[in-house]
Chains A and B, each alone.
Chain A
Amino acid sequence: MVIMNEQVAKNDVIRQLQKEVLSLQGNIIPTADQRWKTALGPIEKAFPNSTFPIGAVHEFISNTQENTAATNGFISGLLSGFMKKEGICLWVGTKRTIFPPALIAFGIQPERIIFIDVAKSKEVLWVIEEGLKCNTLIAVVGELQELSFTESRRLQLAVEESRVTGFIHRYKPKSENTVACVSRWKINPLRSIIEDGMPGVGAPRWNVQLAKVRNGKPGSWDVEWTANTFRFLTRTLAIPELETRKAG
């Protein structure tokens, strides 16, 4: 009995220490009202404290145009969760591919996103950093090709101060080098599924791969975007209930 109690006490101490270490690493547990309603369900379990980290930089990698569209869709879905009430986002890139009217299908009012389309990737980095330092923004999405470790470290330092969340979307990077981001995501489109025998294209469906996550467990999930929220699918469950399809 005594040994059991000791074990429990020891676990408590370890948990406490883990939390402290996490907060020292810049991973601050958000309070209930700060917490983003990302509706990420099972994915959140992969992160430390089972919470999607805000005030951190997330990295997304895509290699084809289909990938890019899916990744942008997933990022938009994430953003919509915490842009619901108010706030402004910055979307920075050199070659903008986003079609503003399509964002509405992901629950984002396009006029609440400020697009910055600059010529050089150095300028993209500068704008991202400035944006991440401005704590009135909700999030900054940056489209880049290359990101060195030093550059990512700078971005991470900026967000630790301001608690803005950054999404770095890298298209066709030369190498998937180590960066100081909390996570690395890869989003691939999956074939949509619609009720038996019905023609037409279904809701957007992706394979979300969390390739790297700091202090968490990487994993892979199948996700569908319906009715302005994420729906998680098991591989066997093929057909979700029919929803009115929105644009996207």
Chain B
Amino acid sequence: MGKRFVALWFRHLTTDWMIRRRPELSDRPFVFASPERGRMVVSAANIAAEAKGIMAKMVVADCRAILPSLEVLDEIPGQATKLLRAIAEWCIRFTPVAAVDEPDGIMLDVSGCPHLWGGERPYLIDLLQKLRGFGYDVRAAIADTAGAAWAVCHFGKVKPIIEPCCQLEALLPLPPASLRLEVETLQKLEKLGLHQVSSFINMPRRALRRRFGDTLLLRLDQALGQEPEIIHPIQPIEPYHERLPCMEPIRTGTGIEIALQQLLETMCQRLVDEGKGLRKSIFKGFRIDGNIQQIVIGTVRPSRNVAHLFKLFENKIPGITPALGFELFILEAPVVEDIAIAQETLWHTSEHDDVAISELLDRIGGKVGMHTIHRYLPDEHYWPERSYKVTTALQEKPATDWRTDLPRPLYILPQPEIIEVTVPIPDYPPMLFIYKGALHTIIKADGPERIEQEWWITGGLQRDYYCVEDEKGGRYWLFRSGHYSSGEPEWYIHGFFA
């Protein structure tokens, strides 16, 4: 049986993708542009923009002159390749051999596949309907050789399906560009008035080689099937997915644990082989009544330690209800990351300690929630509430030093609380204050330390802080909010010194 190839051509790949993401753009002209020699140059235009005469490789300023309402988006480097790869992976449902054909196409080797769809016609219709359903403007052709399929896909006007061994007839009326030639060769052909493949295909091969080089002949032979052409199919990454069917429904906690242990062992073995660790994992149990129960865990750092992962799941096993029993268990790892062999140290500890602490935090986070874990780093603000910042990363080191020159209380109230004071003016500390109904006579005091609001963050009154000590030895951090000049300022207590 002869080989059959399908060539797919996405004429507006990146713009179609953008419309898929932002449907409001569908009827507005927009382009992707990237800087090139100091100018912004259009790299892709959508259909609406092309209708107004805007094409790729035009300068954005010129386009704006044609169409002032044109929307210009920054080109995302490598996006086209990424999309093609993803679509090629998707195409694996149509054929096992799918290759990316840069810059805007996909080549499928469909030998032996179309009969499953009842013929080449329904096959192609199904493929195109699905892709067009996603919103991609796509053309396709099917032929005996990759070259012929490509040519008909890009330049064919009659029909997309070229019967076996008919590629020569199909190629004859097409322009020489359909042979995937270099620009110089095409220019030479154009100059000589050879506008169709038919006008030079019967010339002596020697003459063609002398004038246009080997490439033309090679491409011609490839398109006609006289020379083999190798396509490089993509190798999709096998999803991290382990299954464990059960002979009989599993109903006990022990049974579930054994299943989980087995699945984790196979999963972790694969992760070890590939030098990876999982960040998120889902354990699913399929009940015989059709219900699916699942447990999700996450880790702070990539892990492939069976014991640790088992412990994370174990805490949540009581949360699933087996009812009549599970017949199938599946373990998935949707988020997988590389494990760096030489890891950065965490607070000068050895790597072993580092891992142990991460695992402890995973357990705590899994039980009481990740939002409960805090670590603080200094932040360069005088305002007490902003003088530190929360970090979630365990490896993050302080960017600046902690301040040691200003007295700060060890015990701070979540909100400053209002107090009643007796205070001599203008700038003396209070003589006594009443907080929660208790009277404190102040014996010693330090201050004031004025802290202004950071006007670029919030407005408001400044604070004059005093540290004071009462007759019982309690040490407090009080402040006056604002000046005396603007009425009676309020006094607050903000913390307790040790």
Contacts and interface: CB of A to CB of B under 8 A. Distances in A.
Contacts of A103: 410
Given A110-B376, A201-B467, A204-B497, A68 B360 contact: no
Interface in B426-471: 443-446, 467-469, 471
Contact of A136 (B357, B398, B468, B472): B357
B471 A100 contact: no
A199 B444 contact: yes
B446 A247 contact: no
Interface in A165-218: 188-192, 194, 199-202, 204-206
Main SS at interface, chain B: mixed
Given A101-B403, A130-B364, A201-B467, A114 B474 contact: no
Interface stretch (B54-62, B135-143, B181-189, B367-375): B367-375
Contact of A74 (B373, B391, B398, B498): B498
A199 B466 CA distance: 13
Contacts of B349: 86-88, 136
A65 B473 contact: no
Given A97-B412, A105-B404, A114 B475 contact: no
Contacts of B402: 101, 104, 109-110
B378 interface: yes
B469 A191 contact: yes
B446 A201 contact: yes
Nearest to B396: A111
B473 A190 contact: yes
A167 B191 CA distance: 90
B397 interface: yes
Given A136-B349, A191-B471, A116 B364 contact: yes
Interface in B335-369: 346-349, 352-353, 356-357, 360-361, 363-364, 367-368
B347 A102 contact: no
Main SS at interface, chain A: mixed
For the side of the interface on B, what is the size category? 35 or more
A248 B445 contact: no
A140 B89 CA distance: 50
A70 B412 CA distance: 13
A130 B356 contact: no
A98 B364 CA distance: 20
Contacts of B409: 69, 99, 102, 248
B407 A248 contact: yes
Contacts of B384: 99, 101
Which of B346, B413, B467, B496 has the most chain A CB within a 10 Å cutoff? B496
A69 B352 CA distance: 35
A109 B231 CA distance: 59
A5 B170 CA distance: 119
Contacts of A246: 404, 407
Given A136-B356, A205-B473, A192 B444 contact: yes
A248 B473 contact: no
B495 interface: yes
Contacts of B412: 97-99, 102
Nearest to A115: B374
Contacts of B474: 64, 66, 189
Nearest to A98: B410
B392 to A, nearest CB: 11
A116 B356 contact: no
A101 B388 contact: yes
25 contacts: A64-B474, A65-B496, A69-B495, A72-B410, A73-B498, A99-B410, A106-B410, A111-B376, A113-B375, A113-B376, A114-B361, A115-B375, A116-B364, A116-B368, A117-B372, A126-B368, A136-B349, A190-B473, A191-B444, A194-B444, A199-B444, A199-B446, A201-B469, A201-B497, A206-B498
Interface of A: 64-66, 68-70, 72-74, 76, 85-88, 95, 97-106, 109-119, 123, 126-127, 130-131, 134-137, 188-192, 194, 199-202, 204-206, 225, 245-248
Given A66-B475, A110-B378, 14 more contacts: A69-B410, A69-B497, A98-B410, A99-B409, A100-B388, A110-B388, A116-B372, A130-B363, A137-B360, A189-B475, A190-B473, A194-B444, A201-B445, A248-B408
Q: Sorted from nearest, which 5 A-B pairs have the closest CB atoms?
A: A73-B498, A69-B496, A66-B474, A99-B412, A69-B411
